[in-house]
Structure 1
Amino acid sequence: MKIAVIPARGGSKRILGKNIREFAGKPLIAYSLAAAKESQLFDEIIVSTDSDDIAKVALEHGATYIIRRNNELANDHVGTFPVIKHAIKEYQSAVGEVDYVCCIYATAPFLCADRLKEGIWRLVSDTKKCFAFSVASFAFPVQRSIRLCDGGVTPVQPDKIAMRSQDLEEYYHDAGQFYWGTTSAWLDNKATFAPHSIPVILPRYLVQDIDTPEDWERAELMYRAYKLSR
């Protein structure tokens, strides 16, 4: 059995009501739900939330199961792992055993079904791996980054600052869209950023964090431009 778990708490402070705020015409969480549904991979599409409003919107846009979080799992300091573990345990206790779990963020309007399919196919194909998740390359060489210092700047890596971009190793970052994992890997707290994880590489134009109002505006502009180009 394969399930999707979408964590969506109601207490966002930097962008009020972020998970169900209208984004390019639909509640933001609706995009993640649509991609999960379109993939036809999941026996259940679960939303883990502490909010009645989020639960209602999620069910209207394709969620098939709601798991309620207590206050301990809905504060600013709780990471993703405890929320996913709680959802797995609650679901297995109520319904039955699960083989693979895909954590999908509610703030991923660029998520597409094909990437979800790629992730699970690659994970199932390699029994030595525990996770498969989305990554993207940095747009600028991180080795040539600078920090602000006493009203001026200083290079973070002075020995790399003058090197040509093509001579520097390309680095990647978590794209913040989805995380496939075996049930045992989630429950055993296996490290995500480790050799036992498979990177599913996304193009940078399909990746944008949405943590601040500026992020939101940029993501919406990117999304509208992307849809107009299709």
Structure 2
Amino acid sequence: MKRICTICARGGSKGVKNKNIRHILNKPLIAFSIRQAKLSGIFEYIAVSSDSEEILNVAREYGADFLIKRPNEMATDESAKLPAIQHCVQEVEKRLNITFETIVDLDATSPLRTIEDIQGAVTLLEGQICSNVITAAPSRRSPYFNLVERNKYGYVMLSKELDGGIARRQDSPKCYDMNASIYVWKRNTFYEAKTIIQKDTLLYEMPEDRSIDIDSELDFMFVDFLITQKRDSYEKLFL
């Protein structure tokens, strides 16, 4: 079973400037994902895709096997992530003249995952009939109970309503927040996919304290705090 891990990191970031190489515990953020992938012991190769030479140089320093220059049209604020992952894997396959059965993408801005999360998501994919696996945490808000939206008249309504309503949040269908941490694909559907969610996508559940994706300065502060609280565990990644 040949597996590749991709890590896609754009150079431009409006929410948090240079977030992919900003330091936590004196290490650039992207280095945490690279080291987690290496220490998982399940990948033949790790490839980093970026439009930024600075990010690619950092990735080389921390052990990425392939540095893939992302086309500018895949690195805009409006660009979807899936085409960048597909481009990265395709470039590595061309260079090596091989194919990968399992494709795993680790988000550089979600470093709170554990090595066991990576291994668990891959095991789930490879042991089930499905196209892909995403990771998510139990949602703090339920669209059936306390998540609302405005209708066309400006009035508030529940995002999803059930006949008879729900008196307690605990009685509502279980919902999840996608945490963007790990995406795992089987090759036979990977290149044809246009969206992350397929008809046969499975979910690997992660707890809330490992599910923060850095999109703002506040997110960065939370992640910095949580990693610092478990300093010994994260510093072991770099021994």
* Cα offset, 1:193, TM superposition: 2.0
Equivalent position of 2:60 in the other structure: 59
* Cα offset, 1:182, TM superposition: 1.3
Please tell me the residue identity of whatever aligns with 1:23.
Answer: I
Equivalent position of 1:214 in the other structure: 218
TM (norm. structure 2) is: 0.86
Q: Which runs of 4+ in 1 moved over 6 A?
A: 158-162
Q: Deviations over 1:170-196 (max 9, x none)?
A: 201211101010123220116432341
* Cα offset, 1:79, TM superposition: 0.8
Structure 2 unmatched ranges of 5 or more: 235-239
Q: Deviations over 1:54-108 (max 9, x none)?
A: 0111111121111111211111111111101111221111112111110111111
Equivalent position of 1:106 in the other structure: 108
Return the alpha-carbon distance in structure 2 between the equivalents of residues 159 and 83 of structure 1.
37
User: Quick one: which of 118, 121, 126 aligns to 1:119?
Assistant: 121
1:168 and 2:172 matched:
yes
Please tell me the residue identity of whatever aligns with 1:214.
Answer: L
Name the CA shift for 1:173/1:43 in 2 (closer, same or farther; >3 Å): same
Instruction: Say what the alpha-carbon RMSD is for the aligned residues.
Output: 2.5
Paired positions, count: 227
Name the CA shift for 1:223/1:90 in 2 (closer, same or farther; >3 Å): same
1:200 and 2:204 matched:
yes
TM (norm. structure 1) is: 0.89
Of the structure 1 ranges 138-147 and 173-182, higher mean CA displacement relative to structure 2 is found in 138-147
Contact 1:31 1:111 survives alignment (8 Å): no
Contact 1:5 1:47 survives alignment (8 Å): yes
- What secondary structure, in the 3-state scheme, does the structure 1 residue paired with 2:104 have? strand
Name the CA shift for 1:164/1:78 in 2 (closer, same or farther; >3 Å): same
Return the alpha-carbon distance in structure 1 between the equivalents of residues 121 and 171 of structure 2.
30
Return the alpha-carbon distance in structure 1 between the equivalents of residues 142 and 91 of structure 2.
43
Name the CA shift for 1:74/1:163 in 2 (closer, same or farther; >3 Å): same
Contact 2:22 2:29 survives alignment (8 Å): yes
Return the alpha-carbon distance in structure 2 between the equivalents of residues 12 and 140 of structure 1.
27
Structure 1 unmatched ranges of 5 or more: none
